[in-house]
Chains A and B, each alone.
Chain A
């Protein structure tokens, strides 16, 4: 049982490049989400999904896309990277009303 697996751990992008952050969970959780963590800002919700085929925007969705084709996978796509997207990204999954399990995080730098 691996929990939530998130890749890559580190990434450097040039402004304008695109990339996909991968997230997979093996706990059969319905709910998956992506957060970004910036100093002094806590964990801010980017996008979330309550099940396969269902996604919705969180607090800071601009510049990001998601899809949920299976229960296990919830990739986050950066369409055209900007320096403002330099951050640490966490994927998380949970059953409703229970704890969230986080991936190991991706430290993204956009130059």
Chain B
């Protein structure tokens, strides 16, 4: 089955700096790669996703890049703010009838004011 590795497990940055979180996956048939943000005591919520026919996607201060050949994808947050502090999870999934989402272990991002 799919295996998703996520690094780093913790990341501390100064407000205004950029943050990068990286994930690798093992199943070359995976074609959907979402990123979730989980604030303390809350449920995970989707912040951005990318499909295998796209190499990069941006949404304001957040971007995701995908390298299918190397089987890795990354989350980039620019101009970080204290409210970006949370746990971030990457995930991977095949399409078609295989619905399972496999998650990385998460990255605790702390943005220091």
Instruction: Give A residues with C-beta under 8 Å from B.
Output: 30-31, 33, 35, 40-45, 48, 50, 58, 90, 92, 94, 96-100, 102-105
Contact = CB atoms under 8 A, between A and B. Distances in A.
B89 A97 contact: no
B103 to A, nearest CB: 4
24 contacts: A31-B99, A33-B101, A40-B105, A41-B105, A42-B104, A42-B106, A43-B44, A43-B89, A45-B100, A45-B101, A45-B102, A48-B100, A50-B97, A50-B99, A92-B101, A96-B96, A97-B32, A99-B34, A99-B46, A100-B34, A100-B91, A102-B45, A104-B42, A104-B43
> What is the predominant secondary structure among interface residues of chain B facing chain A?
loop
Contacts of A105: 42-43
Nearest to B99: A31
Contacts, number: 59
A42 B97 contact: no
Given A44-B103, A90-B44, A99-B34, 12 more contacts: A40-B105, A41-B105, A42-B104, A43-B106, A45-B100, A48-B100, A96-B98, A97-B93, A98-B32, A100-B46, A104-B43, A105-B43
